[in-house]
Amino acid sequence: MTFFKILFSTIFVTAVACGCKVKNFSAGQESFKLTKQSDVEIKSKNFDSAAILIAKALAMDSNNYIAYNNRAYLKREQNKPSQEIIDDYKKALTIAPEYEIALYSLTNYYSEIREYQNTINLANRYLSLQLSQQLDSEQMANIYYKLANSEEKLLQFDQAIIDFKKAIEIKPANKYSHFGLGECYYYGSNDIPAALAEFTEALDIDSTYAVAYIEREKCDRNSKPPLLKQAESDAINANRYETKSKNKNDTTGRTFERARKSLNPKVAEADAFYKSIHTLYLPAKVANQNLIDNIVADLTKIQNKSTANVDIKYLRKLVDDALAANTNLLNKLKDITEIDSAIDCKKKLFICQKSFQILLVSDMPKFIDILQYANNYRFTAAMDAIKTNLTLIHKQNIEFEIAENELFNKYTLH
């Protein structure tokens, strides 16, 4: 923190602000000197000495607002209860409402303890001093960042974008401001190109900034077209530079995700649809894949040795399992409302699974019958029984996966 500006050329504001009589001027002056000495002790981390000097200063002049500010800072260094610290800052500001240092310090403290609305209130009070005072540009950039960060945490994304930009205008090389602005674009307005640019800017400033890689990877995958190579690279770098802050960022990200879905009904609807489709499809996909894997293994056996034994009983069980999962999926799929007819994700899954049902009901009994006969033509006959539908299913499954990815990317469901 910037330590206290004390102007000896000024007739003590303490005396003027409280309407003290001339006979108290000497006490106020001495109190002010003691406060100045406490600055030195605080800087040297001689906290006990600083506390004694501040106590003496306030005993001489209970309206010494600088002493209250110093005491608040001292209590922060000593990890005193939050309310004690806040009370001292507020006491200083009650006496001198435009005392820049206390406004700056209390804004930072509210941000530190995550009292976001209070941070916003105090930050705006501090920034209003621009009308009457020359504020330090470094401090102004910091306050704009704290203001924007608090607005973002309260999901006031539009206003946060404005204030992050002001922070960046004053201090362009602040990776945190670029990162925060990127989050607002991504979670608040679904502006993927703008978010991508800001996360990239943050990484240009600090190439080891792990959470920026994490967020940029989401933008990579949601870009049109998806930037898959960069996404892969960003995932690798995120793991390489992973820090303890990642868990905290994940929690914040989940909060922003919920906010984005609540602020954008279409995204919320798409998210619910996507999860429903995925949840229904997963059991059928596992059962289907188990059957396909076994078919491939059986065909390999009889191709290599035409008289090889095949476990027909197990194969029938896999067919029954796949048919049960397939039938369940098709029945439940009817109840899900399609979110985007242009993509037709539901329709494409339905078509694919209908073809799989035909394979299970019509082709697999023939396939199993053929496998039970050990002869030199078994492999060719078995392949002919399933080849047409398996080829079609493979093609339709790819079409469904493309539609699923298109839905996921269009509505930025990361």
DSSP 32-64: HHHHHHHHHHHHTT-HHHHHHHHHHHHHH-TT-
Dihedral, CA of residue 322, residue 324, residue 329 and residue 330, to nearest 10: 100
Residue with structure tokens 């923190």? Answer: 1
Given a cut of 90, whether residue 249 has pLDDT beyond it is: no
**pLDDT value of position 311:** 92
Q: Which whole number is the average pLDDT over 71-94?
A: 93
pLDDT tens by residue, 132-158: 889 999 999 999 999 999 999 888 999
Two tokens, residue 257: 């995700």
**pLDDT value of position 6:** 32
In terms of pLDDT, which residue wins out, 257 or 170?
A: 170
Find how far residue 7's CA is from the centre of its chain: 45
In terms of pLDDT, which residue wins out, 244 or 81?
A: 81
Given a cut of 60, whether residue 18 has pLDDT beyond it is: no
pLDDT band at 22 (very low <50, low <70, confident <90, very high): very low
Prediction pTM value: 0.60
**pLDDT value of position 252:** 66
Report the sign of the C-alpha dihedral through residues 24, 28, 31, 37, in that order: negative
pLDDT tens by residue, 34-48: 988 888 888 888 989
Given a cut of 60, whether residue 246 has pLDDT beyond it is: no
Given a cut of 50, whether residue 92 has pLDDT beyond it is: yes
**pLDDT value of position 17:** 38
Averaged pLDDT of the chain: 87
